[in-house]
Amino acid sequence: MTLSVKDRVFAAAEQISAERRPTVSTVRAAAGVSNADATRYLKEWTEEKHAAGGQLAAAPAALLEQAARLAGACWAEASGLADERHAGLQTAWAQEKKDLNLEIAELVADLDKVSAEKDSAVTELTARITALEAQLAATGEQFALAQTAAQDATREAAAALTRLAAAEARTSTLQEAHDALLQRITPQTPAEPKQVTGGEV
C-alpha cells in the first residue's frame, strides 16, 4: 500500500522528532516530497502535537494526582536502586583500593628486600675486589723480589763460572809448570856398559 504525501511527512516527522526537532528540510529529505508539501504537512503535524499536548493538560485532576504518585513511587524506587548500586560500587571500589594498596605495599617490600640484597652483594663484591687487589699487589711485589733475586743469582752464577774458568786456567798453568819443573829436577838414568864376550878384545 502506497502512503500518501501527508502520511510520509507525518511518518518522517515522528521519526525525526525521536532524536531532534524536525524541520522542513529534514522532513522533505526524509519523506521525499516537495518543499511546499513538507511545509504544509509539517505545520499540520505540529498543530496536532500541540493539540494532543493540550488535551493531556486537560486531564482530570485525580488522574494527574495518581500519575504524580506513580511517578514519585517510580522515582523513589529508582533512587533506592541507584543508592544501592552506588553503595555496592563504593564498597567494591573501597575493596579494590584496599587490595591495590596491599599489592603496592607488597611490591614496595619486595623492592626494599631486593635493594637490600643488591647493596649487600655490592658490599661483598667490593670487599672481595679489594682483597684480590691487595693479594695481586702482594703477589706482584713477591714476583718483583723473586725476579730481582733470580737476576742476582744469574749474575752470581756467571761470576762463579768466570772465577771457575779462571781457576781452571790457573790450575792448568800450574800443572804445566809443575810438570816442567819435575822434568828439570828429575836425574836422568845413565846408559849401561856393554859386556865383553870371549874372543873379543
What does pTM read for this prediction?
A: 0.32
According to the model, what pLDDT value does residue 198 have? 56
Q: Are 37 and 5 in contact (CB under 8 A)?
A: yes
Q: Sign of the CA dihedral 24, 30, 35, 37?
A: negative
Q: CA 142, CA 180: separation in Å to the nearest integer?
A: 56
Predicted confidence (pLDDT) per residue in 42-82, tens digit: 999 999 988 876 655 555 667 767 877 788 888 888 888 88
pLDDT averaged over every residue in the chain: 85
Q: CA 9, CA 30: separation in Å to the nearest integer?
A: 8
Q: How far apart are the first and last CA of the chain?
A: 199
According to the model, what pLDDT value does residue 189 have? 57
Q: CA 177, CA 183: separation in Å to the nearest integer?
A: 10
According to the model, what pLDDT value does residue 150 have? 84
Q: Which helix (H) or strand (E) holds 18?
A: none
Confidence check: pLDDT of 27 > 90: yes
Domains defined for the chain, CATH in brackets: 1-58 (1.10.10)
Work out the angle at residue 68's Cα, subtended by the Cα atoms of residues 66 and 71, and round it to the nearest 5 degrees.
110
Predicted confidence (pLDDT) per residue in 156-191, tens digit: 889 989 999 998 999 999 999 988 888 889 765 555
Percent of the chain topping pLDDT 90: 46
Confidence check: pLDDT of 139 > 50: yes
According to the model, what pLDDT value does residue 54 have? 61
Q: Are 41 and 9 in contact (CB under 8 A)?
A: yes
Cell of 39: 511545509
